[in-house]
């Protein structure tokens, strides 16, 4: 099975509707439309702020933990490599990977949950994919003629749909993104590339933090046990930590190869001959094999039980909840304290959404600084 999926790729030439932009822009002689979008994303302020946002561990505890930015770069490498091996559009896959987390709030998932809880009191909700679209369409202001980054339709569609499907009835404003159809394979790959990246990195960072122990990981996660045994056979007498790193690299390759092979086999099984057929298919084709999927779930459960919900991280989650909720309530009660640019948006967007937009964009250190200032102001 070496044939690729060229017939199903996003072509991305000038006749492709997926390269259309909200504000017409002339072609560039040296770079294709998705390469230009990649630059627009990498040069955005939201992308740079990923360096200051928690992935799992805050940067306050070690310089070596992944931030959302380094995680994003790891996802982009995996996505680009998988797209290349499948004969898909590498530029689109890489661009979507670089954008996949720009809608994340500070403090990782704890921050997102807290923000969502605050908004639900006002009949709204927070979703990082939909927020990412607001960032690229609205908040990034770098051009004289328009707001937003003016990205191609293909990239905007992928930003919304890479990780899950949204019901068309629930989101009439997003009709242009064909919510009833699956996204192209380039976008489908992103969610799995994300899984591969964090399944590998969180074990690595977990051991670095001292919260996880290599022997315990090997005993409890089947795929790590198998990879560890395989590298052990090749390198005798090597220290455990080096074998563990070799095993993690092998695991990343095994999962990536599985994703590529399974996606190719699924496309072949349905006889996929075009992007349209990929879109109309009721399920996503980019998935893991049943074995890799069950091993992925086993590892995810392990990470959840031993790492994500361990006492020291739960303490950070509680702090995140406290900070986000206190600031949200502060600006709801006193909107004039918002920066002028946000205050002006209240009429169009409503106060709760504007406050959430402001908080969601913050880095961990910025929100902690504001929290300290607000606490001092309240005490006075
Ligand atoms: Mg991610």
Element counts in the chain: helices (H) and strands (E): 18, 0
Q: What is the pLDDT of residue 163?
A: 85
**What's the gap between Cα 273 and its chain centre?**
29
Dump pLDDT digits (tens) for 303-335. 999 999 999 899 989 999 999 999 999 999 999
Q: What is the pLDDT of residue 380?
A: 72
CA dist 162 and 275 (Å) reads 16
Dump pLDDT digits (tens) for 28-52. 889 999 999 999 999 999 999 999 9
Q: What is the pLDDT of residue 1?
A: 45
343 CA from centroid of ligand 1 (Å): 30
Does pTM surpass 0.85?
yes
194 CA from centroid of ligand 1 (Å): 5
CA dist 8 and 276 (Å) reads 8
Could you give all domains of the chain from N- to C-terminal order, each with its CATH number? 6-314 (1.10.3210.10), 315-379 (no CATH)
Dump pLDDT digits (tens) for 345-372. 999 999 999 999 999 999 999 999 999 9
Q: Is-contact 275 184, C-beta < 8 A? A: yes
Dump pLDDT digits (tens) for 135-180. 999 999 888 889 999 999 999 999 998 888 888 888 888 888 889 8
59 CA from centroid of ligand 1 (Å): 17
Which of 130, 99, 79, 85 lies closest to 37, judged by CA? 99
- Protein residues placing their CB within 5 Å of the ion ligand 1: 101, 194
CA dist 297 and 341 (Å) reads 43
């Amino acid at each position: 099975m070496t044939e690729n999926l060229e017939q199903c790729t996003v072509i991305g030439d000038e006749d492709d509707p997926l390269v259309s932009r909200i504000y017409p822009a002339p072609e560039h002689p040296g770079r294709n439309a998705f390469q230009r979008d990649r630059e627009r994303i990498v040069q955005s302020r939201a992308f740079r702020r990923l360096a200051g946002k928690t992935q799992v561990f805050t940067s306050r505890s070690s310089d070596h933990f992944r931030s959302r930015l380094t995680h994003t770069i790891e996802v982009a490498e995996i996505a680009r490599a998988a797209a290349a091996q499948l004969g898909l559009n590498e530029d689109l896959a890489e661009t979507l990977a670089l954008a996949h987390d720009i809608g994340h709030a500070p403090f990782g998932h704890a921050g997102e949950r807290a923000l969502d809880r605050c908004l639900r009191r006002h009949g709204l909700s927070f979703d990082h994919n939909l927020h990412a679209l607001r960032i690229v369409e609205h908040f990034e202001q770098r051009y004289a003629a328009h707001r937003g980054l003016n990205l191609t339709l293909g990239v905007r569609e992928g930003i919304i749909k890479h990780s899950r499907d949204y019901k068309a009835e629930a989101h009439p404003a997003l009709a242009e993104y064909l919510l009833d159809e699956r996204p192209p394979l380039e976008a489908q790959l992103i969610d799995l590339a994300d899984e591969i990246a964090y399944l590998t990195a969180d074990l690595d960072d977990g051991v670095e933090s001292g919260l996880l122990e290599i022997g315990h990981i090997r005993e409890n996660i089947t795929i790590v046990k198998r990879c560890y045994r395989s590298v052990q056979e090749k390198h005798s007498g090597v220290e455990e930590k080096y074998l563990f790193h070799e095993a993690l690299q092998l695991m990343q390759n095994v999962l990536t190869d599985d994703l590529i092979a399974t996606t190719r086999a699924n496309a072949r099984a349905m006889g996929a001959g075009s992007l349209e057929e990929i879109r109309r298919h009721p399920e996503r084709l980019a998935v893991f094999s049943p074995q890799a999927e069950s091993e992925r779930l086993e590892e995810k459960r392990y990470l959840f039980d031993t790492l994500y919900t361990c006492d020291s991280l739960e303490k950070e989650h509680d702090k995140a909840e406290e900070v986000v909720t206190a600031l949200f309530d502060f600006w709801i009660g006193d909107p004039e304290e918002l920066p002028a640019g946000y205050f002006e948006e209240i009429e169009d967007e409503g106060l709760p959404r504007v406050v959430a937009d402001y908080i969601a964009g913050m880095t961990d250190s910025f929100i902690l600084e504001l929290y300290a200032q607000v606490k001092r102001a309240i005490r006075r």
